[in-house]
Structure 1
Amino acid sequence: MIKHSRRLLPFFLLSLAFATFTLATAVRAHEHDGDISEEEANAPVDSILWLHILLQAVVWGILFPIGMVFGLSRSRWHVPLQIAGIVLTLGGYVLGHAHGGRLFLPSAHGMFANILLVPLATQLALGVYLKLHIHERTLRPWAVRAHGIVGKSYPILGWTQILFGVITFRGYCRNGALPQCLAHYIMGSGFIAYGVILAILLLVGEAWVRRSGRSPDWWDSWVILLWVLNTFTEHRGSVWSVKDMQHTILGILWWCGGLLGVYLSRNTQRTVIPSVIIILTGYAMSDHAQALMLSTKVHAVFGYTLMLAGLTRLIEVCFVAPSYTSADGVDDDRSDHTLADGAGVGAESSTTAFRGRAFRHLPPILLVGAGLLFMSATDEELQYVHEGGMDHVTYILILFSITFLLYNHIVLLITLYATSGRNASDAASMKDASGSIELTATPTASRGAWYSRVRSEESPAHVIGNDDEDEED
């Protein structure tokens, strides 16, 4: 009992500190709210604000996602990282209210910062409750699920808040620019999310899709079909502009093509319809009329990138992974072994598999790049670039450099999941002759039972989060 009390003491102290902090900030008005003068709005950015920006970007962009991955793999580093992230977040919150120099108008960034206290407090409270190991057969299973759901939302919450921070820092999306901001930032983030999902399926998750009894294109088609709302949100007023017509017909294209894709991909069949829709969307964007030549060039490259993403996805569907092996014949969750083609024995099939894996990285990379290009192509952003004297080539190369860094971070997180915690025993068998990590087949018994495709008598089925927290945590 004394041992458990000592282990829980840091959690209770942190909970008490968090509750005190929340109450203090709830009754304290933000000193930057209200009207500000032009001098205050254009004042230099002081070192405290830069520290706030750097700290929160590192915590929400790197530390929390790694902590989430460690939670999924049941690593003993999950709890320390999340506690450190919460403490640093609170410190960054204080810095964001204590800086001098430039002031900002009330914004979504400041409001969302207060909202983020709710999932932080919820996650902390659930973590303390789970460490108590009580109500094992009643409330605890539900608390484990809630803890997992909140934790998995951190990357999305962090991405949203970082985006709000950039918008607030630059003073964008005001004075009638909000509709364009929403269109670019939501759609661009959607393309990036699509690329992340494809990367996960490529490296560790494709077998889950096969266990679902549906092909990847069935899920893709449903996402496209449900984008029907885009049909009704792009036109405002009584006069139809060229952009209104283009955006509205794109919405119609998506739900019509999505409907066809759902039908053609039934019975685990693959279809090229989602790829064709992405290509047509890229074609429309590549010839989008813009006020600035710089904007026209950036939109054109965005369209070409999207078209290339659709083309590589089409090639992947038709030639690299045209079909799936039977779900009953696979004992692991490694996507490299879900391809029906190239799975034979011998050097030739091995070489084909490696080429296939290399090629299948192209669609997610290009989708991430297209998303960043579209998010960076608003009138306000491109006007700022134009006034700074930067040409479109330099601007586009900067965005692709960020694309490579972001995709590298994504793949590192996925690889970290496959080689940490309960999956660490798989790391040795996932190294090829050169020493690099490849997510290849490993014995099912070395992983948690929830990876198993078919339940066995010896290893009862395990659902993520149902096990007690590791004692080392």
Structure 2
Amino acid sequence: MASTQRLLLLSALVAGARAHGHHHELTDADIHKPVDAILWIHIFLQAAIWGVLFPTGMVLGLSKSRWHVPLQATGIALTLGGYILGHAHKGRAFLMGAHGKFANLLLIPILAQLCLGIYLKLHIHEKSLRPYAVKLHGLVGKTYPILGWTQMLFGAITFRGYCRGGRLGQCLAHYIMGSGFIAYGTVMAIILLVGENWVRRSGRSPEWWDSWVIMLWGIVNTFTEHHGGDWSVKDMQHTILGVLWWAGGMLGIFLSRNNQRNVVPALIIILTGWAMANHAQALMISTEVHGMFGNTLLAAGLARIVEIAVFAPNYAAGPESSADADDAHSDHTLTVGESSTRTMAARAFRHLPPYLLTAAGLLFMSGTDEELQYAHDAGMDHVTYILIMFSLSFVIYTLIVGLINLYATSGRNAPSAPGQKGVDEGGIELSSPTGIRNNW
């Protein structure tokens, strides 16, 4: 009897989910209806799952922790429940948009990951299919933070009704580039905190990778900012920024040959920040927010130059082997032999460039015309608005470094893990002056 009741309840929820849809047109009554408790639960539940739970599970999977499977299984169960709640709420209605369509597409990687996980737990086809399933499972899992970030952005856009009526272009520019800066800061934090051995094995300096991304993005930007007709001031500024990026990126690639460090990517960030700080805007709050974004980006570039020129360690030879011969010329974030004072300063300072990039990205994402118009109409001044964004950037960067730390201290990387590899054995930790694990 209880099973029948549960089945009927589930059927009712699914029916409600199908009955509730997004609409092509909304009345004033639909727009101004209050947001009910079910929708609030959906918002906070899915944000917690995709923003925290799934990235944590992904990191535990990378470190081969035994908590990976139960955490991801819980996340899948909760996100399916949140999916139903998102369609079962009453109250305010929303126009059809990317959020609802992308939610349906997300079922594909969720179910794929579930099926692959179950298959891997069976431990069959060890010599044939399983190795490929392991790689596919890892690949799909690594896309979860990107997919979750994208869907949360779509959700916020849908909730506020933004990016419609000719606003799509400026939304894409702000959200894509802002997210790009946050991703840049995340990758930089990973390289600086736990990526030393990867940099050594790649045989390329960090600026080599930076310069390639900047050059390719500049090529795209050069040919996509102007759409015909008369050239506006913004068209000219955005297009020349594209030229700046591919020209500077090309120079950065050349100067990075033979695994050399250089400051060209940082200089490009500085020039971009200066240009954005002087970007003409219609509203005073918009001018101030864009100015703070530009100054933050400029500070990130300056901090990167200081990190390279002052705190970058000496190159130290790796283990005596032909395979590691080139490692003698790789980027050691903390090298044996440095003074303890210099090492402590480097450990503290290396968080500044990636954090400032994260803050700059969030400021740029918050600088769309509609967001700033809403803040202006609400009577919010630019100081309050900017401080809200910096507060959120602290939260995001805390999550970033928390996940990096979790990777460095969980599963096979835990200090007490059997067969745990130390610094000299090719582990993931940074070298420290005492040769012990780095407690950053």
Structure 1 length-normalised TM = 0.82
Task: Quote the residue 1:203 is aligned against.
Answer: 193
Post-superposition offset of 1:306: 0.3
CA contact (8 A) 1:43 1:102 kept: yes
Corresponding residue to 1:172 among 154, 162, 166 = 162
2:180 maps to amino acid: G
Task: Quote the residue 1:272 is aligned against.
Answer: 263
Kindly tell me: are residues 221 and 426 of structure 1, through their superposed partners in 2, closer, same or farther at Cα, counting changes over 3 Å? farther
Inter-partner Cα distance in structure 2 for 1:338 and 1:255: 25
Task: Quote the residue 1:181 is aligned against.
Answer: 171
CA contact (8 A) 2:196 2:333 kept: no
What do residues 373-426 of structure 1 show as CA deviations (whole Å, max 9, x unaligned)?
000000000000001111101111111111111101111101011111111126
Confirm or deny that 1:303 pairs with 2:290.
Answer: no
CA contact (8 A) 1:275 1:311 kept: yes
CA contact (8 A) 1:281 1:307 kept: yes
Match runs of 1:17-36 below 5 Å: 28=18, 30-36=20-26
CA contact (8 A) 2:315 2:331 kept: yes
CA contact (8 A) 2:316 2:335 kept: no
Inter-partner Cα distance in structure 2 for 1:83 and 1:210: 35
1:263 maps to amino acid: F
Unaligned runs of 5+ in 1: 1-16, 332-336, 431-439, 452-473
Secondary structure of the 1:343 match is: coil
Structure 2 length-normalised TM = 0.88
Secondary structure of the 1:100 match is: coil
Task: Quote the residue 2:280 is aligned against.
Answer: 289
Match runs of 1:416-427 below 5 Å: 416-425=406-415
Inter-partner Cα distance in structure 2 for 1:222 and 1:116: 30
Corresponding residue to 1:339 among 316, 332, 336 = 332
Confirm or deny that 1:241 pairs with 2:222.
Answer: no
Secondary structure of the 2:223 match is: helix
Kindly tell me: are residues 255 and 137 of structure 1, through their superposed partners in 2, closer, same or farther at Cα, counting changes over 3 Å? same
Secondary structure of the 1:239 match is: coil
2:380 maps to amino acid: M
Match runs of 1:125-274 below 5 Å: 125-227=115-217, 228-274=219-265
Inter-partner Cα distance in structure 2 for 1:32 and 1:112: 13
Could you tell which deviates more after superposition, 399-408 or 202-211? 202-211
Count the aligned residue pairs: 409
What do residues 14-59 of structure 1 show as CA deviations (whole Å, max 9, x unaligned)?
xxx9xx99xx79x946533333222112211000000000100000
Post-superposition offset of 1:442: 4.2
Task: Quote the residue 1:403 is aligned against.
Answer: 393
Match runs of 1:313-328 below 5 Å: 313-321=304-312, 324-328=315-319
2:305 maps to amino acid: L
Confirm or deny that 1:374 pairs with 2:355.
Answer: no
Inter-partner Cα distance in structure 1 for 2:195 and 2:416: 16
- Percent identity for Structure 1 against Structure 2: 65
Unaligned runs of 5+ in 2: 1-6, 325-329, 430-440
CA contact (8 A) 1:210 1:327 kept: no
1:252 maps to amino acid: V
Match runs of 1:44-193 below 5 Å: 44-193=34-183
